[in-house]
Structure 1
Amino acid sequence: MNWTREQRDTGFLLAVVTTAVGPHLWRIPLWASALTLVLLAWRGWLAWRERPLPSRWWLLGIAIAAAACAKLTHGVLVGRVSGLTLVCILLALKLLEMHARRDAFVVFFLGFFLVLTQFLHSQSLWVAGWTLFSVWGLLTALVLAQMPLGQPSLRVAAREAARTTALGLPLMVALFLLFPRIGPLWGVPGQSGSTGLSETMSFGDVSTLALDERVALRVRALDGALPPPSQFDLRGPVLTDFDGQEWRPSAVPLIPQDALLLEGGVLRYELLLEPLRMTVLPVLEHSPGQPGETWALDGVTLRRTADLVWMAPRPLGETLRVPAVAVPTSGVRMGPLTEHVSLRAARALPANRNPRLRAWAQDLRAQTSGDLAFVQAVLGHIRQAPFSYTLNPGVYGEFSPHGIDEFWFDRRQGFCEHYASAFVVALRSAGIPARVVTGYQGRDALLQDGWAVVRNSHAHAWAEFWLPGQGWQRADPTAAVAPERVERGLALESPVGLFRGAVDAVNPTLWAAARQLAERLDLRWQQWVLGYKRDQQFQLLERLGFEKPDWNSLGQVVAITLGLGMALGLAWQAVLARRRDTWPRRLERVHAWLTRQGWSVPPHQAPLRWAQQVQHQDAPAPVVQALLALEDWRYGPQAEPPRGWRRRWREARRWRAWWRSLVAKP
């Protein structure tokens, strides 16, 4: 099919705009995504059928209706999500009123803006690749818009866009390396995290994460060795309040004086976290710090809570690199060590919920002596009863509010959150303070460049119970029914999908190898790009010869770099000017030679006119033929500017040969 230039350029621009809009379509409301796609399809159909663009009154009506729907949906028109919704729709509408190049420029700039806003949600490696591809496409469309005549090739425009981008890369790298890092460079406040646990827990929450094999965080020991998988626990939210369906952190935390007592050696390590959905920083048990203390971390101030977790004022929605310290569990006692008012919330249970388990626990308490004996009896019951560990236990509490009773007495199938919840309810029914702790347990067996990989599938829930004189003690009821989950840090394998099944049928190790390669690349990206901050800048200055780098030395390097960049830019412009002036200088030289020979020709005319005039002035035939050859070389159908050093070198040789033919008189 023979496409007109209008059809080809419009189709290409629609493809580029769709690429730029695509990642945002799942973030905006469904009606806005559908409207955007319909408008893009409408513009493509008009270009294909060579139909006129719609009236601006139609477009104005659609824009007003879209703004009204955005107002009803989001409540405001000025905001991140509402603004993104309107920009996507307005970009599609602008394509339907492109009557001039200035309209096309508006489309380009809106496209660049949408590409930039993707970094508000993610700064991963795939986003960087998608950005590079989208910018290349937009620049190619921009080059086409600057070539209004004829039908220039897409390949030529894409090559010119790539060349322009390559010329800007040195400046981009220099700005990346030297631009002062004042606060977090890449992080953007807001709930942008998409990985990991939340700060509440209901039946099914952790099992859903267990099907997610994405990386949640990485851990690397700075001195010593990391704990084995059976002791590799990252403490996350501590959940005390229970309404019968959902666990939440304590609403009114009360801090005992003896909250945390530490003994023994420490492990220094480093965390590399993916964006999280919660405000709690998961760290290896146990982290030093008394309740009320603060921790300044990369522009975020964390506060130590009464539950001994580090909490930020907002969700940790950016990639973080955290140096931390852990104390072995054997050297830790968590208070209070004596009865304290803060234990009331850890004994509370909602009224009229799960009566069978409460009665069972009270009967068992009457048969045992002491709190620890009761705890051991509950764990023994889990080992002996026909409980099973599964990701698909079904829905509990669907037809009654007694979901834990259904799990404990009826189906007895569940994941770690089922066992932890039932265990805590049983202990509270016996009057023993208990609470649920969520986090990550275990890690990948193989290290990646010294980093231990912790995935969402390692998400885990366990319990803590309180004993007088000993404080809070850890208990993992999941280990009673599935010891391999805890002892070796293993997670249940998620079901294999159709695509992965086909890959495994060809090569069983290919999927794991490809995933490991992708994660290694992502690790490099996070270390070298997302993790490049102020300390790395000063280390770079040390390599450049600065003994004690500071902001002044960084400013000096920036000034020198900008000066060198300006000098190189001016030199490059001079080189380009010489290239552009090649033919005018050649024609001036030819005109000067003709004048010296006594032939009168106007300097502003072309070689063809010179040949005609010197022929009337009895010039030799070789001179006339040389001028005609120069006319064909300069303005003939095969004339094109030389690109590349090889073609320029051949061009210079051709010029020297032509000049010899001109000045060599018969």
Structure 2
Amino acid sequence: MAWQPAAPAPASAVQTPPREARDTLFLLAVIAWIIAPQVGNLPVWCSAMAATILLWRAYLAVRSLTLPSRWWLLGLLLVATAATYATHRTLMGRDPGVTYVVVLLSLKTLEMRTRRDAFVIFFLGFFTLLANFFFSQSLLTAAAMLLGLLGLLTALVNSHMPVGRPPLLQAAKTAGWMALLGAPIMAVLFVLFPRVAPLWGMPGDAIAGRSGLSATMQVGTIASLALDDSVAMRIRFDGTAPRMNDMYFRGPVLSTFNGRDWVPLQSAFPLWNQLGADLQPQGDPVTYQVTLEANSRPWILVLDATPQKPALADRRVTMTPDLQWISDRPVTDLTRYTATSYTDFRYGPLRSVTGLKDYLALPPDYNPRTQQLANTIRSDPANAGADTPALVEAVMERLHTGGYTYTLEPGVFGTHTADEFWFDRKMGFCEHIASSFVVLMRGMGIPARIVTGYQGGTVNGVDGYWTVRQSDAHAWAEVWVANQGWVRVDPTSAVAPGRTGSIARLEAPRGVIATALSRVSPQFSINLRALWDAANNGWNQWVLNYTQSKQLNLLRDLGFESPSWEDLSYLLIGLVVAASLVGAAWTLWERHRQDPWLRLLHSAALRLRRAGLELSDNTPPRQMASLLRQHSAGQPAQLQPIGDWLLRMEAWRYAPHSDAHARRLGTLQREFRQLPWPQRIP
């Protein structure tokens, strides 16, 4: 694999590209495959520059044109450096580092003149391949990078086959065999190499959040989140799962409203601590295991309500007075924990306290018609003397019978969001409904607030895990009732009972392939998605979530009473030594399997060389005997037996094979040890 610029050939004479062009195009295709998953994480100029350079290099290879001068490369490098700094305001860190490496990899292809240049590209390619895992550790990314790895290995093997035009398939087979042989070593290192951080991670990962719930809610934001079908978390219940309408996973609680945005409580009262949780679980507990996807938020999502601390390794979690569990740091990698919850519970103050005034506050000059509606409901003779549950029931009945619609596309709301929902549009997503409901409750003098989180999920029939997606994001309300505390009220269930009581969901528009599959065979599409989700879940559970605690648990299973890092290191060193011994034994066995006749002839040649006879590595026995006769004038009695033995060696080599023939080789080996080998041949 020389990668030298060849002389241009007439277009009519070129039927297939020469080996140099073929190998270059293959390597460029592998590089493009490795860079492609990074496009969403790279600046637009970097992706465009890399694509342009790779296409330019391919054109030069196909037309056998001369590569650009180093001044061109220097100029492009300076431009890329300045653009990287202008984009990231630094040249250090994950994002600028990956950007710069991609630029260097693409530029290096423009000076690929020798095999040494190709080797530099190989190593840059391996690093770029690994850099993909800085941004995504999904099963799809791993599968794509495995193909990229095999492609780079194929190009590397092909570069060590300089003679002729060996087919790429031959190099690919060798590369595959190399990867297969290295798989056991990779598995051992994966299982035993000490883990002190996430499998892939850098400090910058903490600021690279994914989509998910927010600490604030603007009317309309959760509807946009429902268009995201990505996984938020996976759950495995110990025993029977709770009912769908009990699956409320609690997130941020929003209590302060400025007319447009809901934010966490901003109390003006010093007695806010009177609103402590005072959680009283009832009924049977539900124990389950959660695998939470990274979201760069500190929220530990659990079923409503969870009185005991979820079991997390290496994290401190605390529960706020409004029952939300919060970690001491954001969730920036896949996190698994076990929790025990009670879907039947009571919490909050049983009597009216000063702090409840926070949950009555409304911004002035907002939603006047909703305020008038609250006064009308209060003054209705049918509600005379009605308590809070009765008033809540009256509003829920209005939602159920008033022609209100649950939709993902209610349009853009104006200043008075509650007024528009109750009187104009009469349609909305869960946050429109919950926000309008809470505003109306507060207008009637009932303390109320919004709770955001996830509701429901779907069970995967392949592995039994429940999958909660971003599209399951939900907002509901809590109202305060005397002698009961805070009571959950989900006004969306009055508008669309299927949203909370079954697996019915408003589906976002699907892609072309998914739509085609669902039309051809809906059940096949469902089964295919279940299989893919189960495969992703297995990848998460067994690979991404293979943590330090799992390593130590493995040592316990192997018999270590109190495993530690020292034990893990000793075990890893022991396996390395054992593998080395096995390799040494394999080498000795291979030597033993080598042709014994060649080994015997090699030993004879060594002795004759030490005695002063000039022999090449490929000198046959008959020629050795002839050289001995030329030097036998001084000591014929000593050298003649050696010459005769060499002739018998040659005769044995070409004699018909039989059992007697095999035994004669043993005779030749014994004669070799008995021959009078000379110290010096004159």
Q: TM-score, normalised by structure 1?
A: 0.83
Please identify, of 375-384 and 416-425, the stretch whose mean Cα deviation from structure 2 is larger. Answer: 375-384
- 2:505 matches 1:491: yes
- 2:585 matches 1:568: no
Please identify, of 260-269 and 547-556, the stretch whose mean Cα deviation from structure 2 is larger. Answer: 547-556
Measure how far apart 1:611 and its partner are: 6.6
Work out whether residues 281 and 307 of structure 2, in 8 Å CA contact, stay in contact via their aligned partners in 1.
no
Measure how far apart 1:318 and its partner are: 1.6
Work out whether residues 20 and 111 of structure 1, in 8 Å CA contact, stay in contact via their aligned partners in 2.
yes
Please identify, of 17-26 and 493-502, the stretch whose mean Cα deviation from structure 2 is larger. Answer: 493-502
Work out whether residues 193 and 318 of structure 1, in 8 Å CA contact, stay in contact via their aligned partners in 2.
no
Change (3 A) 1:658 1:156: farther
Structure 2 distance, partners of 1:612, 1:124, is: 65
Structure 2 distance, partners of 1:371, 1:518, is: 47
The code of the aligned residue for 2:615 comes to: P
> Residue 256 of structure 1: SS of its match in structure 2?
helix
Change (3 A) 1:257 1:380: closer
Quote the residue 1:215 is aligned against.
231
> Residue 488 of structure 2: SS of its match in structure 1?
strand
Quote the residue 1:429 is aligned against.
443
Please identify, of 581-590 and 132-141, the stretch whose mean Cα deviation from structure 2 is larger. Answer: 581-590
- 2:346 matches 1:327: no
Change (3 A) 1:197 1:159: same
Measure how far apart 1:286 and its partner are: 0.2
Structure 2 distance, partners of 1:13, 1:444, is: 43
Change (3 A) 1:241 1:576: farther
Quote the residue 1:281 is aligned against.
300
The correspondence of residues 179-578 of structure 1 with structure 2, limited to 5 A, is 179-185=193-199, 189-192=205-208, 194=210, 196-222=212-238, 224-251=239-266, 254-256=272-274, 258-264=276-282, 265-288=284-307, 297-329=312-344, 331-335=345-349, 337-341=351-355, 343-367=356-380, 368=383, 369=385, 370-397=387-414, 401-445=415-459, 447-575=461-589
Please identify, of 188-197 and 317-326, the stretch whose mean Cα deviation from structure 2 is larger. Answer: 188-197
Work out whether residues 143 and 161 of structure 1, in 8 Å CA contact, stay in contact via their aligned partners in 2.
yes
The correspondence of residues 40-189 of structure 1 with structure 2, limited to 5 A, is 40-185=54-199, 189=205
Structure 1 distance, partners of 2:590, 2:135, is: 41
Quote the residue 2:676 is aligned against.
none
Structure 1: gaps spanning 5 or more residues: 631-650
Change (3 A) 1:496 1:171: closer
Structure 1 distance, partners of 2:546, 2:53, is: 41
Structure 1 distance, partners of 2:298, 2:240, is: 28
Measure how far apart 1:234 and its partner are: 0.9
Change (3 A) 1:170 1:490: same
Structure 2 distance, partners of 1:610, 1:198, is: 88
> Residue 352 of structure 2: SS of its match in structure 1?
coil
Measure how far apart 1:63 and its partner are: 2.0
Quote the residue 1:585 is aligned against.
599
Change (3 A) 1:586 1:408: farther
Measure how far apart 1:283 and its partner are: 0.5
Change (3 A) 1:258 1:594: closer
> Residue 161 of structure 2: SS of its match in structure 1?
coil
> Residue 85 of structure 1: SS of its match in structure 2?
helix
Quote the residue 1:645 is aligned against.
none
Quote the residue 1:603 is aligned against.
615
The code of the aligned residue for 1:361 comes to: A
Please identify, of 197-206 and 479-488, the stretch whose mean Cα deviation from structure 2 is larger. Answer: 197-206
Quote the residue 1:638 is aligned against.
none
Measure how far apart 1:547 and its partner are: 4.6
Please identify, of 471-480 and 249-258, the stretch whose mean Cα deviation from structure 2 is larger. Answer: 249-258
Work out whether residues 217 and 454 of structure 1, in 8 Å CA contact, stay in contact via their aligned partners in 2.
yes
The code of the aligned residue for 1:373 comes to: A
Structure 2 distance, partners of 1:187, 1:309, is: 27
Structure 2 distance, partners of 1:489, 1:93, is: 52
Measure how far apart 1:421 and its partner are: 1.4
Quote the residue 1:5 is aligned against.
19
What's the Cα RMSD here?
3.8
Structure 2: gaps spanning 5 or more residues: 1-14, 631-642, 670-682
Work out whether residues 460 and 534 of structure 2, in 8 Å CA contact, stay in contact via their aligned partners in 1.
no
The code of the aligned residue for 1:119 comes to: F
Of all paired residues, the percent bearing the same amino acid is 40
Please identify, of 185-194 and 483-492, the stretch whose mean Cα deviation from structure 2 is larger. Answer: 185-194
Quote the residue 2:47 is aligned against.
33
Q: Deviations over 1:559-601 (max 9, x none)?
A: 3212102212333444566678989637537969999xxxx99
The code of the aligned residue for 1:444 comes to: T
Measure how far apart 1:389 and its partner are: 1.3
Q: Deviations over 1:73-106 (max 9, x none)?
A: 2222212222222221221112112233333233
Structure 1 distance, partners of 2:365, 2:19, is: 74
Structure 1 distance, partners of 2:407, 2:285, is: 36
Structure 2 distance, partners of 1:616, 1:563, is: 47
Change (3 A) 1:513 1:274: same
Structure 2 distance, partners of 1:46, 1:244, is: 62
Structure 2 distance, partners of 1:187, 1:61, is: 33
Measure how far apart 1:207 and its partner are: 2.8
Structure 2 distance, partners of 1:158, 1:336, is: 73
Structure 2 distance, partners of 1:441, 1:48, is: 57
Please identify, of 485-494 and 434-443, the stretch whose mean Cα deviation from structure 2 is larger. Answer: 485-494
Structure 1 distance, partners of 2:535, 2:478, is: 38
Measure how far apart 1:296 and its partner are: 7.2
Structure 2 distance, partners of 1:337, 1:186, is: 51
Change (3 A) 1:580 1:194: farther
The code of the aligned residue for 2:363 comes to: P
Measure how far apart 1:447 and its partner are: 4.7
Structure 1 distance, partners of 2:68, 2:662, is: 58
Structure 1 distance, partners of 2:88, 2:26, is: 33
Measure how far apart 1:136 and its partner are: 1.6
Change (3 A) 1:430 1:126: same
Change (3 A) 1:19 1:652: farther
Quote the residue 2:5 is aligned against.
none
Please identify, of 70-79 and 446-455, the stretch whose mean Cα deviation from structure 2 is larger. Answer: 446-455
The code of the aligned residue for 1:324 comes to: A
> Residue 316 of structure 2: SS of its match in structure 1?
strand
The correspondence of residues 637-648 of structure 1 with structure 2, limited to 5 A, is none
Structure 1 distance, partners of 2:503, 2:349, is: 28
The code of the aligned residue for 1:285 comes to: D
The code of the aligned residue for 1:207 comes to: A
Q: Deviations over 1:19-62 (max 9, x none)?
A: 11111111122222212211221111111122222222222222
Work out whether residues 279 and 311 of structure 1, in 8 Å CA contact, stay in contact via their aligned partners in 2.
yes
Change (3 A) 1:236 1:170: same
Structure 2 distance, partners of 1:63, 1:248, is: 47
Structure 2 distance, partners of 1:593, 1:30, is: 69
The code of the aligned residue for 1:210 comes to: A
Measure how far apart 1:478 and its partner are: 0.5
Structure 1 distance, partners of 2:68, 2:254, is: 58
Rg: which structure is higher?
Answer: 2
Please identify, of 484-493 and 473-482, the stretch whose mean Cα deviation from structure 2 is larger. Answer: 484-493
